[in-house]
Structure 1
Amino acid sequence: MLCVDVFTFQAIDGPVIGKVVASGNNKFVKGDLVLGVFTWAEYCFVKETTIMRKLEPSEFPLSYHLGVLGKLFINYMAHVGFFELCKPKRGEKVFVSAACGSIGSLVGQYAKLFGCYVVGCVGSQNKVAFLKDKLVFDDAFNYKEETDQSSTLRRYFPEGIDIYFDNVGGKMLEAVIDNMNTFGRVAVCGATSEYIDIRKRASLDLVNVIYKRIIIQGFLTPDLMIHHFQNFMIKTSNYLRTGELQVTEDISLGIESVPSAFVGLFNGNNIGKKIVRLVEEEE
């Protein structure tokens, strides 16, 4: 008997900025730049329903529309998750995990600009230096060098944590709950530590959650996009114009760099928004 394994390979779709090379739709002409959820490829066929909008000439670099000004989930989540779910007050103590990522780096900056005390955790010493020197976090630590996350957080937050923007889940979330103040808020944006290892799923102390009246809320960007996107664009654009918000991008060139770029996200290789540029931008 012959046993044959059959593997089906499927193209990956994701947020993309593309240039129209031919169009059967009178809303778009050759040369238009469009933003949408397209196939990761040098060329692809798209339907109008997958196009979010046409990009007009802008004062900002094209890559910003995939990153800091992106309506495609990622960086809008930083603004909405922090301001609409966490409802910060000036002077509150804010902790951000995966703080050098595309979302965490923005959350920390928004919190600082709002007047909060901000600490981030990352996976290397050069990222610690980046948060403190470049993004002006109040403090940061390398979680890989800490054996007891709960005691580490007590060291950085002797008065407790008011807001936690969670990008990793797992043991870090457990440690935060141990150190959270009464009426603390947790915005659960991601669970990176749990995606590939179910043994690392968080086991929360619910008694702590109850008696401290902690709010823990997961969210998806479409839940809040309609009502808050305009406010996000105005505020973030103004921060960019004044130089108060630093943009961090990690850009690779060429379609052949897609696999390593994708895998690198889960290994923590990137600082800021990871972008693959298929061709050099035209002058």
Structure 2
Amino acid sequence: MEDTNRRWYFVERPAGEPDADSFDLRTEDVPEPDDGELLVRVAYLSVDPYMRGRMRDSESYAEPWDVGDVLKGGVVGEVVESNSERYDAGDYVTGQGTWADYSVLQADDVAPVDPEVADLPAYLGVLGMPGRTAYFGLLDVGDPNPGDTVVVSGAAGAVGSVVGQIAKLNGCRVVGFAGSDEKTRWLTTDLGFDAAVNYNATDDYGAALDDVAPEGVDVYFDNVGGPITDAVFTKLNLDARVAVCGQIAHYNDESVPTGPRKLPLLIAPRAKVQGLLVADYATRFGEASERLATWVASGEIDHRETVVEGLENAPDAFLGLFSGDNIGKQVVRVTE
């Protein structure tokens, strides 16, 4: 165990797209856990698009960070000191911690990790918050039926890649939008998507949808927003369901973009549009974790993590989300 602890601080609210000026790395003493707490040596930490909203000085579903706060996010790592009867030193756990070498976590708020099921980074992706978001967002909000056409935007990301695979397990035809040929090949070759569209290689998303979803769209899982979503709205079938999970195309906008109004397109198909927050399903997390672990262990769900090396590069890993650097889940390796 080291004598010092590096921690990233949020030091400036960004205007538009964030840059390195919002972050400051400081070296401090290793914290001491109180009763009921664990000192965890962080192996991997998670960076996620929703964190951009926490940088704004406005209310949202995630509490905003104050300037001067330590940056927070999902972590997985080894317990090095325990003040709880529930865990011992040497156990591996995952929970909400800090961007740091060592993080103090409440024992009641962490979950155990089984390295026999999957490698540690998977517990920040398919077996963590993104996987549970995909599970509940598709099955509860999207409510797919066998034979449905399911379209997923941001399909090569941590959530979208799992959504598509669960849809295939439910007998659906699955189409994904992603930002490169490498990503679309991964979706169709490795994950079993029926078709995929490189949105950077076409100017006409409607025509692309006509090619890959000629019978229209029954379920749309939206991680992106913007013109892709506009195009999908023109292709919705009767009783279509739209699950709005994220809008990363707009996270760095300083003003709300306007354009053609799409709500009339929901009238004829009687489509349902619903936003989702995975925290609303907290009482059912065990159900999702059990089923996802079973699918991963059996090979029915594949997963991939893009690993950025070194805590010092955590801001770069976060900023890379907005340029599409990642395939699957973006994580930072802090220590072996």
Q: Which residue of 1 aligns with 2:96?
A: 37
The CA deviation at 1:43 is 1.8
The C-alpha deviation readout for 1:153-176, integer Å capped at 9, x for no partner, is: 222222111010000012211111
The CA deviation at 1:28 is 3.9
Q: How does 1:147-158 map to 2 (within 5 A)?
A: 147-158=203-214
Q: Work out whether residues 120 and 140 of structure 1, in 8 Å CA contact, stay in contact via their aligned partners in 2.
A: yes
Q: Which residue of 2 aligns with 1:62?
A: 120
3-state SS, counterpart of residue 112 of structure 1: helix
- The aligned length equals 271
The CA deviation at 1:80 is 0.5
One-letter amino acid of the counterpart of residue 39, structure 1? T
Q: How does 1:220-231 map to 2 (within 5 A)?
A: 220-227=277-284, 229-231=285-287
Moved more, 185-194 or 240-249: 240-249
Q: Work out whether residues 173 and 202 of structure 1, in 8 Å CA contact, stay in contact via their aligned partners in 2.
A: no
TM-score when scaled to structure 1? 0.88
1:52 aligns with 2:110: yes
Provide structure 2 residue ranges, at least 5 long, that are not aligned to the other structure: 1-10, 13-66
Structure-1 separation of matches of 2:300 and 2:119 = 17
The C-alpha deviation readout for 1:170-212, integer Å capped at 9, x for no partner, is: 2211111111111100000000101112454675422221221
Q: Which residue of 2 aligns with 1:205?
A: 262
Q: Which residue of 1 aligns with 2:141?
A: 85
One-letter amino acid of the counterpart of residue 17, structure 1? V
The CA deviation at 1:96 is 0.5
Structure-1 separation of matches of 2:154 and 2:140 = 20
Higher strand share: 2
The CA deviation at 1:113 is 1.7
Structure-2 separation of matches of 1:46 and 1:233 = 20
Structure 1 pair 191/208, CA: closer, same or farther in 2 (3 Å)? same
Structure 1 pair 236/23, CA: closer, same or farther in 2 (3 Å)? closer
1:182 aligns with 2:182: no
The CA deviation at 1:128 is 1.4
Q: Which residue of 2 aligns with 1:11?
A: 70
1:266 aligns with 2:322: yes
Q: Which residue of 2 aligns with 1:161?
A: 217
The C-alpha deviation readout for 1:221-269, integer Å capped at 9, x for no partner, is: 1112313x33323322222222121111111221122121111111111
Q: Report the identity percentage.
A: 39
Q: Work out whether residues 131 and 292 of structure 2, in 8 Å CA contact, stay in contact via their aligned partners in 1.
A: no
The CA deviation at 1:114 is 1.3
RMSD: 2.1
Q: Work out whether residues 177 and 204 of structure 1, in 8 Å CA contact, stay in contact via their aligned partners in 2.
A: no
Q: Which residue of 2 aligns with 1:245?
A: 301
Moved more, 188-197 or 155-164: 155-164
Q: Work out whether residues 169 and 202 of structure 1, in 8 Å CA contact, stay in contact via their aligned partners in 2.
A: no
The CA deviation at 1:45 is 3.5
Structure-1 separation of matches of 2:294 and 2:93 = 23
Structure 1 pair 230/53, CA: closer, same or farther in 2 (3 Å)? closer
Moved more, 145-154 or 113-122: 145-154
Q: Which residue of 2 aligns with 1:214?
A: 271
Which structure is higher in RCO with an 8 Å CA cutoff and minimum separation 6?
A: 2
